[in-house]
Amino acid sequence: MAVTTSRSAKVTLPADDQILITREFDAPRELVYKAFTTPELVRRWWHAKRGEMTVADIDLRVGGTYRFVMDSGGFEVGFHGEYLEIVPGEKIVSSEVYEGLPEGVSEEDGSTVNTATFTEEDGRTTLTLLIQAANKTSRDAIIESGMEDGLQDALDLLEETAQSIR
């Protein structure tokens, strides 16, 4: 029987305006793809234990849209977008807009183009998720969105460090 080891997703920043997430799964490619594109299955993992999924709509075709909403203790977190390119079982390119964009941020600036690629080797699948933001400010805001306290302190410290060695 296959053993599932819980591994960390690896996050890197290949360019100023990009985020790259990589993770290997102990399952063949078609299953990972299925879990990624089937509403009933997405409902079971996308919330990352941070709430209950109230909406998981997927119209998987080029030009079709999707919408995911999670209720996190009375606070709704929603994302929606459009499928731009689909290679069944291998690749999905979609736009993504966070529905809670701060005032003053245009949808154009706040949306990203996400490319999910599925590759299989020896029955294991590597998923890479490349998030292309409009610019560095948006990219940084996406990463910060996953954070609460401590961020500002950390950035202040970084700024100080950078300035002190100028």
Partner 1 sequence: MARAATTTDAFNAVAEPRRRQILDVLTGGELAVNDVVDRLGLSQPQVSKHLRVLRQVGAVDVREDGRQRFYRLNGEALKPIHDWIARYEETWSERFDRLDSVLQELKKEEGDGSDD
Query: Rule CB under 8 A: which residues touch partner 1?
Result: 2, 4, 6-16, 19, 21, 23, 25-27, 31-32, 34-36, 41, 44-50, 136, 140, 142-147, 150-151, 154-155, 157-158, 161-162, 164-166
The token duo for 6 is: 């819980």
The answer for residues whose C-beta is within 8 angstroms of residue 31's C-beta and 6 or more apart is 125
Nearest CB to partner 1, comparing residues 24 and 82: 24
Closest CB 156 distance from partner 1, rounded Å: 9
Nearest CB to partner 1, comparing residues 16 and 62: 16
Closest CB 117 distance from partner 1, rounded Å: 15
Nearest to 6 by CA among 32, 28, 25, 33: 25
Nearest CB to partner 1, comparing residues 63 and 73: 73
Angle at 162 between CA 161 and CA 166, to 5 degrees: 120
Closest CB 63 distance from partner 1, rounded Å: 26
Closest CB 88 distance from partner 1, rounded Å: 17
CB-count exposure of residue 74 (10 Å: 0-12, 13-18, 19+): exposed
For 151, phi then psi, to 5°, come to -65, -50
